Structure formats: C-alpha cells, structure tokens
Amino acid sequence: MGTILITIRSTMIVAMAHRPGERAEWADHAREELRQAGHRSGGARAAVLDVIARQDCCLTAQEIFDELRASGRDAGIASVYRALELLTRMGLVRRVDLGEAAAYEPELPGGEHHHHVVCDRCGKVSSFEDSALERAIDRLAARMDFDVGGHDVVLRGACEDCRE
C-alpha cells in the first residue's frame, strides 16, 4: 500500500496515493550517496535513515529517537541530531519548520514533495499536495523573475477535532 496524502482544494479534501516503494527507493539512494561521500554504513545514521524511510510524513528528532528506543536500537539523541544534520546537509533529508519543533522527511531525488497543515491546538500534522498551489508558485516565480530552488508551505490553524 502506498502513502496517502491529502490534497486541499477550496473546501474539498481529496486523498491521493503515492507509488508503493517510493520510500524504499529513497533509502537505497540515500545509502548510496552516503557511501559515495565516504560515510560508514550502520550505526545510528543507518537507523535514523530506516525510521525516516518507513514514515508517511515528517518526524521530529525526538520522535525518531523514541521510535529507535521502542524498537530496541541503542542510539542517543545526540547521535540522532548528528545524523539528521548530515542527511540535511547532503540534501537527502528536508528540514520542515513546524513551529515549536523542526521535523524531517526524505528529500526525494525526483523533487516530488508535499506540504503540511499543523493544528495550533493539538499539534496534529497532516500532509497535502495541491497541483494548483504548485502552479501558483511557478507563476509567482515567473512574475518576480526568480528561480525558485525549493519551497515549503506550512498552513496553521485548527483541525476538525479541535474546532468541535
């Protein structure tokens, strides 16, 4: 089963499935990039990479650490942060600012990405894709004569549960 992302169009929300195996391909790509850069395989770095590859959306360093501990992996929080810093610096992981904490997710080689909605009340994070938003960003870049190398969109507000 593929990853399900949410697309927001006006007031309608549509679920979209992603190609199965996409995250496994990313993990293989990341391992190869690390190898070519001369970094050892194994240890905390490999464990962090495996956790990120299994997730549907972004995770904070603390969430990655908690997942490693729950699965019996012996890695310290400092090792998690060092791994995330290296993976981010190499362009293999994207850092997403979610307000109180940063979260991390794969930087897919083909440039595929999604955006996030964050509930300011409960902290729930959901991902979405919207082709109209991507076209609007492209139009804005053209109008401003600006070459956009990347972008993050984080919408903040109240989720359905918190509005009730």
Query: Would you write out the chain's pLDDT as a tens digit for each of its 164 residues?
Result: 333 333 333 322 333 344 556 778 889 999 999 999 999 877 889 999 999 998 878 899 999 999 999 999 888 999 999 999 999 999 999 998 887 789 998 888 777 788 888 898 888 888 888 889 989 999 999 999 999 888 888 888 999 999 88
Domain locations in the chain? 4-163
Q: Residue 30 half-sphere exposure, CB side, CA atoms within 13 Å?
A: 32
pTM for the model: 0.75
Q: Which residue has the tokens 């499935």?
A: 17
Estimate to the nearest angstrom the gap between the alpha carbon of 163 and the chain centroid.
26
Strands (E), the chain: 4-9, 12-17, 59-60, 93-97, 102-106, 115-119, 125-128, 154-157
Per CATH, the architecture of 4-163 is what? Orthogonal Bundle (1.10)
